[in-house]
Chains A and B, each alone.
Chain A
Amino acid sequence: MEKRNDAPRYRYRLPPCPAYDVEGTERWLSEMAAQGLMLAPDGFFFGIVTLEESEPCHARYRLEAIPKGSFFDDNATPDAEAVELAAHYGWEYVAKRGEFYIYRTVQEDARELNTDPRVRALAMKAVRARQRGYLFEWLWWLVLYPLLQNRALVWRMPLLATLTLGSWLSLFTVLIVGWLGIRAIVRTVMLERLYRRLSRGETIGDGTADGTERARRIRRHRICSVTRVTLTVIWAVWLSVWTLYWMTDQGEVPMEEYIEEEALPFASLAEIASCAGEVAEYRAIRYGFGNTVKAWQDPLAPVNIDYCEIAEVKLADGRSVEGALYVTYHETVSPALAVLLAKEYHRGDRAKKNYGELGVDLPKVSYAVAYLDEVHRPTVLLQEGNRVMRVSFYAYSSSAEIPIERWAQIFADGMVSHK
């Protein structure tokens, strides 16, 4: 029995240049053909080039700009008429890469696919328009829209967003987004340059880079591509893990459990109630949420605490204080950062509905402001040195009156004495 050996064998390569580098792509594919590696049908996929082993031959590859599509046509493949016309003159459609269709001919005497650079420039118009559209979308959604709407936390309160996400993940995000943006800008500029060359009637060819320079550029592009994909995957996984962690309240521990290990750097509800009288009994109230502490570290702020306490405190004289205490506490690496953070908190709360400043006597710390937050809770924002504290205390059932000035002073004293 004869051994059947006609199944195609494939090799895989990284692309040698960006998708918008028409000349580089055409030249490299021709070089591969000369080595007996022909581009496989739909051979560009997810940044990997699939090449089919065959006899070495002289093949010409040409990239054709993808025309403007319709609503119902995503331009996944060229128009049947275009393929038919090309085939009539010895060219076959092979694959798509980026904004271009790739055609190939192995016939030495086949006429060129494009014989008029200015007409080729016309075909490039749709590509240019799409690329400018992508760039504008990137600018709009990441930069302009958040600025105009003033709703995105990352633009309104960048320091707090950084501390919430984590400084390293935030920096990584900025780098990835910045890199994607720069790539989009470079792509737009290079396609624009190509268009102008074609509009002037220039026939694009192999370029003038010598072998060593080309090899260096190919190596550099491949390293950048692999690095970019790897970093993007790492970033996506990291961000997903963080999102899952944050949305499922991982890192929150019951208040009692936290206090056993660490002392809180601020007052508790019992301490607030103690300024109205001697505390006789304390009862934490369980509503299915609250009475938890979330603490985390960050290079910009080594101590960060989100604290929620809901309790009833009975005083010795029979009065009681029942309410909720919410504290967000940060110790930053420098007083300057603490000042910025305090101002961000204030700016963020000021932008919300129902904000109302309270004209009360405030403690003598570096920064202090009192107001009603968006859910009408009396809130005090304090900053002293490298410490920032945002405290909301709402006594929803209390026979003991505790004015905001009194409990604000307790927290301020705690900030000063904790130095």
Chain B
Amino acid sequence: MPRHAMEQLTEAMFYVLMSLCETPRCGVRIVEEIERRTEGEVRLGPATLYTVLAKFEKEKYIKEIKVEGRSRTYAITEKGLSAYRTELARLRACLVAAEKGEEKHGEEK
């Protein structure tokens, strides 16, 4: 269990960073990008998104680069990119370990 909230990103956090890796986006476009990339499997709620963006901005994982009316556009920072890559590596390691287990299980059968 991580001691600090940002030590291990939740699924929603991971996808938000993922969506900002390519290009800066505003909140609505972040949600649309996540739905597109996950083929509709992950649908972020607006309050969840708002909380994640606020938290990331406070932790300097993202920064606000433009304000149009009430809509703000965010871009990922180096710190955010690093956190994203760390989490990606962790997930890949989990996947590799799981696949090895599956292979071994298949062989035993």
Residues of A within 8 A of B (CB): 62, 64, 67, 79-86, 88-89, 91, 103, 111-116, 118-120, 122-123, 125
Contact = CB atoms under 8 A, between A and B. Distances in A.
Closest 7 CB pairs of A and B: A115-B45, A85-B46, A84-B70, A116-B12, A80-B70, A113-B47, A86-B46
A148 B50 CA distance: 44
Interface string B56-97: 000000000000011110000000000000000000000000
A116 B11 contact: yes
B10 A119 contact: yes
A80 to B, nearest CB: 4
Contact of B71 (A84, A116, A122): A84
Interface string B1-34: 0000100001111000000000000011000000
Interface residues of B, number: 23
Given A81-B27, A85-B27, A88-B28, A116 B48 contact: yes
B72 A120 contact: no
A142 B71 CA distance: 45
19 contacts: A79-B50, A82-B46, A82-B50, A84-B69, A84-B70, A84-B71, A85-B46, A85-B49, A85-B50, A86-B46, A88-B28, A111-B43, A116-B10, A116-B45, A119-B48, A119-B52, A122-B5, A122-B55, A123-B51
Given A85-B27, A85-B50, A123-B51, A113 B45 contact: yes
Interface of B: 5, 10-13, 27-28, 43-52, 54-55, 69-72
Contacts of B48: 113-116, 119-120
Given A81-B70, A123-B51, A88 B46 contact: yes
A104 to B, nearest CB: 13
Contacts of B69: 84
Nearest to B69: A84
A254 B87 CA distance: 84
A418 to B, nearest CB: 71
A82 B72 contact: no
Nearest to A103: B47
Nearest to B30: A85
A386 to B, nearest CB: 62
Contacts of B50: 79, 81-82, 85-86
A235 to B, nearest CB: 39
B10 A118 contact: yes
Contacts of A81: 27, 50, 70-72
